[in-house]
């Protein structure tokens, strides 16, 4: 009897054969480095085929070790080819990063507001990090600090509302959720300011 | 599982629910060896390379300072602890993760030499080790799919694991740990800091012994 797992296994085996065949044909070192990522995705594919909760928990450590190995290999490649000193004048000098950030960042921030709470703050913060890394920033720290301070006050106020007027819990939860959204967003967007320019 | 030939008498078992870390005579011996070699890597001094000048009896000695070997010493100790984890764990997926970790630290020990040929060898070894994650994780996935568990303790003596999974497990460990034996070994030995290079051979030997035990037990 052929069930879904076996169909998946045949598909995965086909992909693995194609990936290994590409390793045989490829001779350029950089291209082979890129192909190793393909191999690690195949490994995760095999684990994901099992499709249980345990398999889901195994994906993350598998991904971590393969990515750390890929990063180590990349460092070796840079040193080997002697190009680790060739820094571009501006980090992340890629054309897409000049045009895309406004749209992508606004989508992320809107989705973060829709999610609200801690995870929403993280998503919105990612959007702001992305925008600031790509577009640069000019001394917006004070604004971020002020907003973050007010968010903290709102959060504490929400706690007081819950403690003193328990009947107004819904208002308090909404205030706390909005405040922690802004707080996490502000915190994460500070990460974005660490990369962009050299005089920070 | 202690009625199997390879394990010997039971010394210790820690039942963490499904996954049981255990010491048999076999694995306790391996763990003791790993601890000894971690201490050697932590406290020994780097070798002094001698270059002989041909056609005469002159030689000169390379100066290797403590600071030059700090990175490879750290990586040798990390490699020792990854090997210790691979020897002690009672879970097949954790074993594969530790094998990958041994591979990463091995690459780092080789790459810390800084010589172009050595780096080239390290890069080729790294690519082999990266490809080897496919059979390694694939073996764990097939074992999980066919038996529903990854615990060596539960699987011991059942004979439920398919031969394909065992073969893939051995293939993966060969790629991760035993690769330096056939890739650029001559280049590696020419590198400075030879006592730390010893750790590569040691970890590959221990991984091989451990995977033999696992394959014979499950």
Q: What local confidence, expressed as pLDDT, does residue A200 receive? A: 42
Overall number of domains in chain A: 2
Same-domain status, A139 and A105: yes
Residue with tokens 């991984």: B207
| Window B:188-207, CB contacts with A under 8 Å | none
Average pLDDT, chain B: 82
Whether A10 maps to a domain, the answer reads: yes
Domain end position, chosen among A81, A109, A127:
A81
Residue B61 pairs with which residues in a beta bridge? B50
Q: How many CB pairs under 8 A join A and B?
A: 98
Q: Tell whether the model's pLDDT for residue B117 goes beyond 80.
A: no
Over range B185-207, report the average pLDDT.
Answer: 72
- Please indicate whether, in this complex, the C-beta atoms of A72 and B119 are within 8 angstroms of each other: no
Is residue B184 over pLDDT 80? no
pTM of the model: 0.73
Report the pLDDT value the prediction gives residue A199, as an integer from 0 to 100: 47
Do residue B123 and residue A77 have CB atoms under 8 angstroms apart? yes
Tell me if A20 and B131 make a contact (CB, 8 A cut-off).
Answer: yes
Q: Residues of chain A whose pLDDT is less than 70?
A: 1-2, 86-94, 136-140, 192-200
Is a pLDDT exceeding 60 seen at residue B25? yes
B163 occurs within a structural domain:
yes
CB contact under 8 A, B131 and A70: no
Q: Backbone dihedral region of A184: left (phi > 0), alpha (psi from -120 to 50 degrees) or beta?
A: alpha
From A156-165, B70-79, B88-97, B186-195, the region with the lowest mean pLDDT: B186-195
- Sign of torsion over alpha carbons B36, B39, B45, B50: positive
Q: What is the mean pLDDT of residues B81-99?
A: 91
A30 plus A108 within the same structural domain:
no
**Contacts B93 to A, Cβ<8 Å:** 58, 61
Residue among B114, B129, B134 minimizing CB distance to A16: B134
Whether residues B144 and A54 touch (CB distance < 8 A) is answered with yes
Q: Which of A86-90, B109-113, B207-211 has the lowest mean pLDDT?
A: A86-90
Note whether A70 and A135 are same-domain residues.
no
Residue with tokens 């879904």: A4
Is there a contact between B145 and A44 if contact means CB atoms under 8 Å apart?
no
Number of domains in chain B: 1
Least CB–CB distance from A5: residue in B119, B127, B145: B145
Interchain CB contact of B142 with A (< 8 Å) = yes
Among residues A81, A116, A141, the one where a domain terminates is A81
Judge if A138 and A176 occupy the same domain.
yes
Interface predicted TM-score (ipTM): 0.81
Asked if residue A90 belongs to a domain, the reply is no
Determine the pLDDT at residue A56: 85
Of B123, B133, B145, the CB nearest to A40: B133
Query: Residue B81: pLDDT above 90?
Result: yes
Count CA within 13 A, CB hemisphere, residue B185: 8
Which domain, by its residues, includes A32? 4-81
How far does chain A reach from its first CA to its final CA, in angstroms? Answer: 63
Q: Are residues A105 and A183 in the same domain?
A: yes
Whether residue A80 and residue B119 make contact (CB cut-off 8 A), yes or no, is yes
A103, A77: one domain: no
Give every CB contact of residue A134 below 8 A, 6+ residues apart in sequence.
A92, A97, A98, A100, A101
Percent of chain A with pLDDT over 70: 86
- Give the one of A23, A43, A52 whose C-beta lies nearest to B137's C-beta: A43
């Amino acid at each position: 009897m052929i069930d879904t797992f076996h169909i998946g296994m045949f598909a995965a085996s086909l992909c693995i054969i194609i990936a290994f065949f590409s390793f045989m044909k490829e001779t350029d070192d950089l291209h082979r480095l890129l192909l190793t990522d393909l191999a690690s995705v195949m490994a995760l594919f095999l684990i994901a085929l099992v499709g249980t909760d345990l398999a889901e928990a195994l994906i993350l450590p598998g991904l971590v070790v393969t990515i750390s190995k890929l990063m180590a290999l990349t460092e070796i490649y840079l040193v080997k080819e002697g190009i680790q000193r060739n820094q571009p004048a501006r980090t992340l000098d890629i054309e897409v990063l000049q045009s895309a950030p406004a749209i992508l960042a606004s989508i992320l921030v809107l989705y973060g507001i829709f999610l609200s709470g801690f995870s929403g703050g993280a998503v919105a913060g990612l959007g702001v990090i992305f925008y600031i890394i790509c577009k640069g920033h000019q001394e917006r720290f004070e604004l971020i600090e002020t907003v973050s301070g007010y968010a903290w006050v709102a959060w504490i106020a929400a706690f007081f509302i819950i403690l003193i007027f328990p009947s107004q819990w819904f208002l308090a939860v909404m205030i706390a959720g909005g405040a922690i959204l802004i707080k996490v967003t502000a915190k994460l967007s500070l990460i974005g300011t660490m990369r962009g320019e050299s005089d920070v | 599982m202690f009625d199997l030939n390879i394990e010997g008498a039971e010394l210790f078992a820690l039942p963490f629910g499904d996954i049981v870390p255990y010491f048999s005579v076999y694995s306790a011996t391996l763990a003791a060896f790993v601890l000894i070699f971690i201490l050697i890597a932590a406290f020994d001094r780097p070798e002094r390379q001698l270059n002989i000048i041909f056609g005469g009896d002159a030689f000169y000695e390379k100066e290797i300072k403590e600071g030059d070997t700090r990175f490879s010493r750290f990586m040798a100790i990390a490699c020792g602890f990854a090997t210790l984890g691979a020897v002690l764990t009672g879970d097949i997926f954790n074993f594969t993760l530790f094998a990958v970790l041994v591979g990463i630290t091995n690459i780092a020990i080789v790459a810390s030499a800084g010589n172009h040929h050595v780096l080239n060898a390290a890069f080729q070894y790294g690519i082999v080790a990266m490809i080897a994650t496919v059979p390694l994780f694939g073996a764990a996935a097939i074992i999980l799919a066919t038996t529903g568990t990854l615990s060596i303790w539960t699987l011991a003596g059942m004979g439920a694991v398919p031969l394909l999974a065992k073969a893939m497990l051995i293939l993966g460990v060969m790629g991760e740990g035993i690769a330096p034996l056939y890739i650029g070994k001559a280049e590696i030995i020419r590198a400075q800091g030879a006592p730390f290079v010893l750790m590569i051979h040691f970890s590959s030997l221990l991984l091989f012994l451990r995977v033999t035990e696992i394959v014979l037990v499950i």
